[in-house]
Structure 1
Amino acid sequence: MSIDKPVLLGDPMSGLLASATEYMIDAGQRSVLFLDVLRRRGDQYREHMAQTAPHVLQYAAELIMDGRKLDQPVSYVLVRIVPPKDIEIDLKRRPFVVVDPRAGHGPGIGGFKADSEIGVAMKAGHSCYFIGFLPEPMPDQTIERIARAEALFVEEVIGRHPQADGKPCVIGNCQAGWAVMILASLRPELFGPVIIAGAPLAYWAGVHGKYPMRYSGGLLGGSWLTALAGDLGAGKFDGAWLVQNFENQNPSNTLWTKQYNVYSKVDTEADRYLEFERWWGGHVNLNAEEIQFIVDELFIGNNLAAGRIKMSDGQAVDLRNIRSPIVVFCSKGDNVTPPQQALHWILDLYADVDEIRAYGQTIVYTVHESVGHLGIFVSGGVAKKEHAEFSSNIDLIDVLPPGLYEATFEAKDADTANADLAIGQWVMRCEARTLDDIRAMGGNSEEDERRFATAKRVSEINLAAYRKFVQPWIKGMVTPQVAEWMRNVHPLRLQYEAFSGRNPFMSAVESVAGSVRENRKPASTDNPFLALQEQFSKQIVHALDNWRDSQEALSEAIFLAVYGSPALQATVGIDPQSSPSRRQEMSAQHREMLQARIAELKSRIADGGLREAAIRGLLYVGSARGMVDERSLEALRQVRRNSGMRLTLSQFKMLVRDQFFMLLLEREAALAAISKMLPDNTNERRAAFAAICEVLSASGEISDEVTRRLQRVAELFGVDPPERLKNVSNVAPFDPKAKAS
């Protein structure tokens, strides 16, 4: 209890009155301090938006390239992150490039905190670069121009790191994820591993009862409203509307929880709140043509994975052209980019894992259980775990054989074998998966696909009608001055301006707040009125959540009913009985190239020496586990160093891939050739086999099928197996037609 509150034993009414008095004083003081936080927020907003290049990076940055000075200017810039004094950068490690989303907010979210994507990458020894943007787009700026500019940025990074053992790892957050994927498909030679975090790529995907944002385009009649907003902005689209879309997804947080949390903990939460609001309120503009492309081609059209997007030179965007490993990070708690939207592009592109391998692609995904959309980028826990592991083990991901994997993380403890081989507090594994694992997350039925295809056609019809009958009138009436006024009176901007120091009332609040801080008297934690306040808050949140849920259920029901109508579908040209599919068939050109590659690999099965034989044997045994562990990679690194194996990471990656495909195509022939590839020197064979055992045992005990395969490799190497293998008999027979795991 507070020392200022009298405790009168045997007088409950007096005690209750004292608690009420204490609470009223505390609540009044908190109200003043909360208003002062809003004043500070408003002043912070004005200062932030007055900057030429506002951002929220927590690191010093050096400007490398200014996109405004390019032949085709864009409002994007490339900066080098200056590492703190306590961070040691290894110039031989690949650089990281973080690309921030231009989804209504300003840049910097990838380096918002010390424990961030940039922070953990630098701690792992990587140089870091950041691609950000200015609040105003350049005239005639398009998504394609931005992609071309970002290609020049990545080329510049590559040129600055000639000693790096690998091309840059590029991280695309949220909407920057699909932008990076487009660029990587157009210029695959520029990229090392690509990490896309919370990035929507399959825009129609989802499950019933969740993720209502995917219905928005259809419920609004398509993208004609996007065109209207661009015209009302005199050729610019106000990013505040995108931010408001995010806020509408969670009204209880927007209207109550975010503010209540500060009010109820005003003595401790103000700085954290203001730090986040500096980014959240940093609205930026897009050209009308940019947002129209995004909505038509991506959100409503869903054309990215289908390969229907073309550049001005006629080049089609085909995500199967990407040759670098693709890491997809998503979360079940993300209602903006749910796992289905982050992963179902894989189902659109490939029939099975063999087809993924046929394109030489490596795809790794991980699904967080609960973190929300923004938490993927700003959560310290996520940065210290998932992002830290990806940064530390990016070379492991880069040398994985082609296929589909899920990254899993296990906390290190006293029982973790060879814990010293794993960096940080987690052990990362990449476990082999199939497309059925992605399908098991749920997705659209054929009926749902027809509904979204119908919404796309309706959008095209409405947009054409708007452009013909309404757009000329709007453009004729809206001047740049009118457009600027409408941006300034947007509700999201007004809430900052209204509580800033420009409001005379808020100046008085500042003065009173100083006095309150000097005489602060918080209520005791056991004050019954505080408990009542918390209960009242929970009731408000519950009511707002129920309202949201009912609105979302109604929206889904309307969408399903309207766009599921066979009459409407037939009217706009969708066959109500069709089985729509967006999956692209393999081109004749790629099939011809694939056959040539298969023939080449088969012809080289017997080529190579001890190095090729050892990698082939290691892959054969290790594939029985169906996973790769970061401890095994570190053990392999040590073997490479100790053996003096002079291979760059790129050369080693090619060696691993060649041997993997040889086993996949002709396993028995590839195994039989091992003994012919080995030198006569028994000591060299024995050392190579010992290295295989060392790498395999790094991640735990060798048992079961791994043991049987290892025994067979020992026989092929002509060496005695370890003692624990000698008692294993009846080696399982091998089917020559079977594929490697």
Structure 2
Amino acid sequence: MNFKVVNDAIAINLENANILSRLWLGHGQRIAQEQIKLFQARADKAAELFKPAQNLNPWTAWSSYATDAMQRSILVLDTLRQRGNAFNAHSDGNIPPVLDFDYELVIDGRSLPRPVNYSLVVITPPAGVTIDPKRRPFMIVDPRAGHGAGIGGFKPESQVGDAFADGHAVYFVIFRQWPEPGQTLADVREAEAAFLDEIHRRHPDVEKPVVIGNCQGGWGCMLLAAAHPDKVGPIAINGAPMAYWGGTAGKNPMRYTGGRVGGVWPAMLMADLGNGVFDGSLLVQNFEELNPANSYWKKLYNLYAKVDTEAERFLEFERWWGGFFMMNEEEIRWIVENLFVGNRLAFGQAYFGDERIDLKSIRSPIIVFASHGDNITPPQQALNWIADTFHNVNEIKARGQRIVYLLHDSIGHLGIFVSAKVAGREHEAITDTMRAIEALPPGLYEMELEQGKDRLHIKFAPRSVDDILKLDDGRKDEEMFAAVARVSETGATVYENLVRPFVRAMVNEDTAKQFFRTRPLRLERSLLSDRNALLAPVGALAEQVRAHRQPVEANNPFLAAEHLMSDLIEQNLDLYRDIRDAFHELSFHALYGSAPMQWVGRQEMAGREQTSDENLLMLPDVRNALANIETGGEAEGTVRMLELLSEARGYVRRSRLERELQLFATEQPFATMGEDRRAKLIYEQSLIVRFATERAKASLPKLLDTPAERHRALDLVMRVAGPVETMHPQALALYREFEAMLGRRPTNAGDAEQAA
């Protein structure tokens, strides 16, 4: 008997038992404390609600409330009937995007060599909007995760609206409900590359397009940028899940789903029952089950409580939420195996055929927007890919990458895309940053926002990979998710060989249609429509109610009781959710935290570990840059001093980047440089500053070898870094060192103003 193996197994199981005990106590205490707090709040609210009703006649109050309640019930039923009719009207597959803007078709993906259901449209600027022909166009990609396209332009105050407000032309990637036969995600990626080619053809004199990806559109944009780094400008990915194993204990229950159901085989089964097509309503159902209180009560009660004003907004949102889009079996399987369960993309182990997808190949600056209030894509899932892809921040710099992340404290997943508050602040900041991000030195930064009196102040604070990992509570639990990935592979093999032949033998086009029709979210809509004869009188009744509407007084005690009852129902559904999620987490840890599963997980993780601390000095780009440390002239010397000042300051403000960008656009020798040449210049000088700081300073006199070049370079640097009185003390001290080194007397405030 191998006693070491036995001892290891005992130790692992004891450790897992301790973890389970802590989780059990933590969940119990949290749920109990939350319920006590909520019951106290409900009691206080009840006392406040019933105070204004003390002097009312109870029979009069009841009559008024009963009339209003009956009328609201009819109006709600009519609203749901309208929702069902709209759903049925689009059952032919022709579901338009929910864009709040006019648009024109540019490319229909069905016409491409590898046909796809994606298309490129150009958004028509609204009245009063002027497009600046010198600014990059935007291409926005929405998620194809069960819903349709258009959420990025769902309101005037949206990503589209922000881009227009800044003078950018806007293109939007939309998609039809049904995929083309045989369509793959690789085909979709190549279609989006063709879209970028067309945008460049239409805007030949501007820089590469900004690409914005929402949710799953975010990782789609990363696939595009990794394969076609020469076509993509800055990338913004909003609420985009890139590292699916990330999360904290007691939160983020969605990441346990793959382990609970056994991996990818249920998705394969659903696609087989759909005759090779996966129904997107199943994904939407997963989202709804995350928050049953909202899905099954709060959303409908909010409609009931405010039906006179809420019906139109409800129907508009349901037009997007209830437009269910399909995927081919190959598409959903790739997503589950490489992302949801396998988490292969971040580790560089995802493939399209023989092509390995390497996120290190991306050359575009990347902005990541995530929120602590997002229970679908928490910050760990949005950011941990950085730690998986790059060994440390030095590697990010060595590869010339700029990654900026922005964290919101509370906004939910959908709010990242559609909230007017977010659109007016975070998305505005992202849009503004796109203009100046090429002047940012390579590295990892957190974008910090501070509202000033006259404008939003933006600061880029340097961060390390360790700062990203501090958002998580450790990554030991990822061994369990690695075990899930291995179990998923086994389950897929068993299903393919033993079950799939029988399922496919029983499925045809007719059975697939019936399968789609009977999905819960589809039935919920189709049954509450004019197809249901029982609802025939509802439309006429609703018209009569609107003509004779008698809303109840706000201080009615029965209305107060209704609100209180709604709060209690919501509280109990939240309690059910918390207990359910706690059970899911505990059962996941009990199964996949056991000794056999941890051994499986460790074997899986062993193949994913970075093989060594790569000697960054041996990278070709680093070697070439250091070999040219004494080569160059005024451009190299100016940029090198700016990079050294950035290092000394410790952070970068947007205003400084804007001044640097203005310098690049107006001053020689930068103004005649192309975008790629400027980017290469900044990249090379940042490598020199990072890996040979002292030599970088000492060799400045060799780059700037004439008095005229030295004075001009110092003046240009001061125009960006100054004025003197506002400079960071360490940056000012370094600038004085430059002046002494280059033989110029120290600059004072008056000199700076004259130079400017």
TM-score normalised according to structure 2 size = 0.88
Does the CA-based 8 Å contact 1:631-1:699 persist in structure 2? no
Aligned with residue 694 of structure 1, among 712, 719, 736: 719
Q: In the alignment, which residue of structure 1 is the partner of 2:582?
A: 553
Q: Could you tell me how far 1:315 is from its partner in structure 2? A: 1.8
CA gap 1:509/1:186 in 2 versus in 1, 3 angstroms: same
Give the letter for the 1:665 counterpart: F
Distance in 1 between the 2:466 and 2:290 partners? 30
Q: In the alignment, which residue of structure 2 is the partner of 1:432?
A: 462
Give the letter for the 1:635 counterpart: R
Where does the alignment leave 5 or more consecutive residues of structure 1 unmatched?
Answer: 1-10, 415-424, 727-741
Counterparts in 2 of 1:96-245, with a 5 A limit? 96-164=138-206, 166-245=207-286
Aligned with residue 338 of structure 1, among 373, 378, 383: 378
Does the CA-based 8 Å contact 1:324-1:398 persist in structure 2? no
Q: Could you tell me how far 1:316 is from its partner in structure 2? A: 0.7
Does the CA-based 8 Å contact 2:649-2:728 persist in structure 1? no
Q: In the alignment, which residue of structure 2 is the partner of 1:3?
A: none
Q: Could you tell me how far 1:385 is from its partner in structure 2? A: 1.4
1:470 pairs with 2:537: no
Does the CA-based 8 Å contact 2:68-2:551 persist in structure 1? yes
Q: Could you tell me how far 1:361 is from its partner in structure 2? A: 1.3
Q: In the alignment, which residue of structure 1 is the partner of 2:364?
A: 324
Aligned with residue 391 of structure 1, among 427, 431, 449: 431
Give the letter for the 1:388 counterpart: E
Distance in 2 between the 1:475 and 1:369 partners? 47
Q: Could you tell me how far 1:104 is from its partner in structure 2? A: 0.5
Q: In the alignment, which residue of structure 2 is the partner of 1:739?
A: none
1:442 pairs with 2:472: yes
CA gap 1:598/1:530 in 2 versus in 1, 3 angstroms: same
Distance in 1 between the 2:673 and 2:462 partners? 26
Distance in 1 between the 2:548 and 2:295 partners? 31
CA gap 1:32/1:596 in 2 versus in 1, 3 angstroms: closer
1:720 pairs with 2:745: yes
Q: In the alignment, which residue of structure 1 is the partner of 2:569?
A: 540
CA gap 1:226/1:599 in 2 versus in 1, 3 angstroms: closer
Does the CA-based 8 Å contact 1:185-1:319 persist in structure 2? yes
1:269 pairs with 2:310: yes
1:604 pairs with 2:633: no
Does the CA-based 8 Å contact 1:449-1:580 persist in structure 2? no
Counterparts in 2 of 1:74-93, with a 5 A limit? 74-93=116-135
Q: In the alignment, which residue of structure 2 is the partner of 1:658?
A: 684
Distance in 2 between the 1:196 and 1:703 partners? 32
Does the CA-based 8 Å contact 1:99-1:172 persist in structure 2? yes
The one-character-per-residue Cα deviations of 1:31-83 (angstroms, maximum 9, x if unpaired) are 12111211222222233444635211112222121111222211111111122
1:524 pairs with 2:549: no
The one-character-per-residue Cα deviations of 1:153-210 (angstroms, maximum 9, x if unpaired) are 222222221101x211111111121122122112211111111111111111111111
The one-character-per-residue Cα deviations of 1:401-453 (angstroms, maximum 9, x if unpaired) are 11111111111215xxxxxxxxxx4222221101111111114433x222112
Q: Could you tell me how far 1:395 is from its partner in structure 2? A: 2.8
Does the CA-based 8 Å contact 2:391-2:610 persist in structure 1? no
Distance in 2 between the 1:606 and 1:124 partners? 40
The one-character-per-residue Cα deviations of 1:486-541 (angstroms, maximum 9, x if unpaired) are 11121111221222233334342221222222222222222222222211111111
Aligned with residue 137 of structure 2, among 87, 95, 98: 95
Q: In the alignment, which residue of structure 1 is the partner of 2:22?
A: none
Q: In the alignment, which residue of structure 2 is the partner of 1:484?
A: 513
Distance in 2 between the 1:675 and 1:554 partners? 67
- What percentage of aligned pairs have identical amino acids? 42
CA gap 1:649/1:563 in 2 versus in 1, 3 angstroms: same
Does the CA-based 8 Å contact 1:307-1:584 persist in structure 2? no
CA gap 1:127/1:476 in 2 versus in 1, 3 angstroms: same
The one-character-per-residue Cα deviations of 1:653-687 (angstroms, maximum 9, x if unpaired) are 222222222222322222223234336455x6545
Helix, strand or coil at the partner of 1:365? strand
The one-character-per-residue Cα deviations of 1:316-359 (angstroms, maximum 9, x if unpaired) are 11111111111111111111111111111111122210011122
Distance in 2 between the 1:344 and 1:92 partners? 36
1:704 pairs with 2:744: no
Counterparts in 2 of 1:722-737, with a 5 A limit? 722-723=747-748
Q: Could you tell me how far 1:642 is from its partner in structure 2? A: 5.2
Give the letter for the 1:130 counterpart: F
The CA RMSD measured in Å over matched residues stands at 2.4
Q: In the alignment, which residue of structure 1 is the partner of 2:8?
A: none
Distance in 2 between the 1:459 and 1:386 partners? 38
Q: In the alignment, which residue of structure 2 is the partner of 1:625?
A: 649
Aligned with residue 68 of structure 1, among 110, 119, 135: 110
Give the letter for the 2:463 counterpart: R
Give the letter for the 2:575 counterpart: N
Distance in 1 between the 2:723 and 2:715 partners? 12
Distance in 2 between the 1:707 and 1:568 partners? 57
Q: In the alignment, which residue of structure 2 is the partner of 1:613?
A: 637
Give the letter for the 1:162 counterpart: P
> Quick check: which one's helix share is greater?
2
Helix, strand or coil at the partner of 1:550? helix
Does the CA-based 8 Å contact 1:188-1:322 persist in structure 2? yes
Helix, strand or coil at the partner of 1:190? coil
Q: Could you tell me how far 1:722 is from its partner in structure 2? A: 3.5
Does the CA-based 8 Å contact 1:328-1:343 persist in structure 2? yes
Aligned with residue 23 of structure 1, among 46, 62, 65: 65
Give the letter for the 2:295 counterpart: T
CA gap 1:504/1:596 in 2 versus in 1, 3 angstroms: closer
Does the CA-based 8 Å contact 2:237-2:369 persist in structure 1? yes
CA gap 1:195/1:718 in 2 versus in 1, 3 angstroms: same
Distance in 2 between the 1:468 and 1:51 partners? 33
Q: In the alignment, which residue of structure 2 is the partner of 1:353?
A: 393
Where does the alignment leave 5 or more consecutive residues of structure 2 unmatched?
Answer: 1-52, 752-756
Helix, strand or coil at the partner of 1:393? helix
Does the CA-based 8 Å contact 1:632-1:698 persist in structure 2? no
Distance in 2 between the 1:380 and 1:534 partners? 27
CA gap 1:673/1:290 in 2 versus in 1, 3 angstroms: same
Give the letter for the 1:517 counterpart: R
Give the letter for the 2:511 counterpart: V
Give the letter for the 1:236 counterpart: V
Helix, strand or coil at the partner of 1:25? helix
Does the CA-based 8 Å contact 1:632-1:699 persist in structure 2? no
The one-character-per-residue Cα deviations of 1:682-710 (angstroms, maximum 9, x if unpaired) are 5x654543443332247982232122112
Distance in 2 between the 1:725 and 1:345 partners? 48
Helix, strand or coil at the partner of 1:97? strand
TM-score normalised according to structure 1 size = 0.89
Distance in 1 between the 2:254 and 2:535 partners? 37
CA gap 1:251/1:587 in 2 versus in 1, 3 angstroms: same
Q: In the alignment, which residue of structure 2 is the partner of 1:381?
A: 421
Give the letter for the 1:525 counterpart: A
Q: In the alignment, which residue of structure 2 is the partner of 1:422?
A: none
Distance in 2 between the 1:249 and 1:302 partners? 21
Q: Could you tell me how far 1:643 is from its partner in structure 2? A: 3.5
Distance in 2 between the 1:493 and 1:620 partners? 60
